[in-house]
Structure 1
Amino acid sequence: MRGISFWFFMTAVVYVTLGMIWGIVMAATGDHRLAAAHAHLNLVGWVTLALFGIYYHLVPQAGEHVLAKLHFAVATAGVVLIVPGIAMALSGAGELLAKVGSVLTLASMLLFAVVVFRSRKTADVPEGRTVEQGLVQSA
């Protein structure tokens, strides 16, 4: 795994590791007030980013476009803002960060939808081959 797929997956691994540590701390202290933020770190940070990484690994042509790099930046910023934002909202410190993180997370998914749509013609084409006029031909 390399390129953008590696960065999505590696970032997801960092998030799940932090999520596991946070879960252990919550269990050890019995303080589960921030469980919703913890859940978002694991679901958006681990699951979603890992799935993005897997897609880019399976469809490497999709990761070669500048849109994939933008997608990574927006997805990462979304997680970095939504998780502490939810923690702040739960603690009564305001909801602005959670709202901004939520919009970025949604924007990340919409960018991913565009990436998937744009790469639909190359997604099933074996490496070393091209798609021309809907037919698979040797390169």
Structure 2
Amino acid sequence: MRGIGFYFFLAAVLCVTLGMVWGIHMAISGDHLMAGAHAHLNLVGWVTMGLFGVYYTLTPAAAASSLAKIHLAVALAGVVVMVPGIAIALKHGGEAAAAAGSMLTAASMLIFLYTVFKNGLGNPV
């Protein structure tokens, strides 16, 4: 079944695949200017999204809520805005997108904090 946990995992796997390709490109070229953006793609995109996917898979009550869908949208928007925003900032193009993406990512984590606090972990006993 393709529930919310699956979609978080799908996003995570896409992020890590892009992150690996980007990392290989940096290694081959010797240009590591974008290391900060690459690191955020791997950490926020792969690790965080993957952990969200694990949580929602283990906690069906949380996954069934409409807030889970909002969480997915905000988390995806955070990565999609923040990572290119960091790349733009590193190229001296301004920090607005990086800041906006960071705020979306922080909002995503606040949604997750509320969700965990409200639903706990796993099936209720």
TM-score by shorter chain over 0.5:
yes
**Which letter does structure 1 place at the counterpart of 2:13?**
V
> 1:53 maps to what in 2?
53
| TM-score, normalised via structure 2 length | 0.96
Mapped partners of 1:115, 1:36: distance in 2: 29
2:36 equivalent in structure 1: 36
Correspondence list, 1:12-23, <5 A: 12-23=12-23
Deviation of 1:118 (Å): 1.3
Aligned-pair CA distance for 1:123:
3.2
Gap runs ≥5 in structure 1? 126-135
Unaligned 5+ segments in structure 2 are none
Equivalent residue for 2:66? 66
Root-mean-square deviation (Å)? 1.2
Which structure has the larger Rg over C-alpha atoms?
1
The letter of the residue matching 1:123 is G
Distance 1:60 1:44 in 2: 23
Cα distance between partner residues in 2 of 1:72 and 1:60:
15
| Poorly superposed stretches of 4+, deviation over 2 Å | 122-125
Normalised by the size of structure 1, how large is the TM-score? 0.87
Which amino acid letter does the alignment assign opposite residue 108 of structure 1?
A: S
More strand by share: 1
Please state how far the C-alpha of 1:124 moved relative to its aligned partner: 4.3
CA distance in 1, matches of 2:4, 2:118: 16
> Which structure carries more relative contact order (alpha carbon 8 Å, separation 6+)?
2
Higher helix fraction: Structure 1 or Structure 2? Answer: 2
Once the two structures are TM-superposed, the CA of residue 72 in structure 1 deviates from its matched residue by 0.2
Percent identical residues: 61
Q: Number of paired residues?
A: 125
SS at match of 1:93: coil
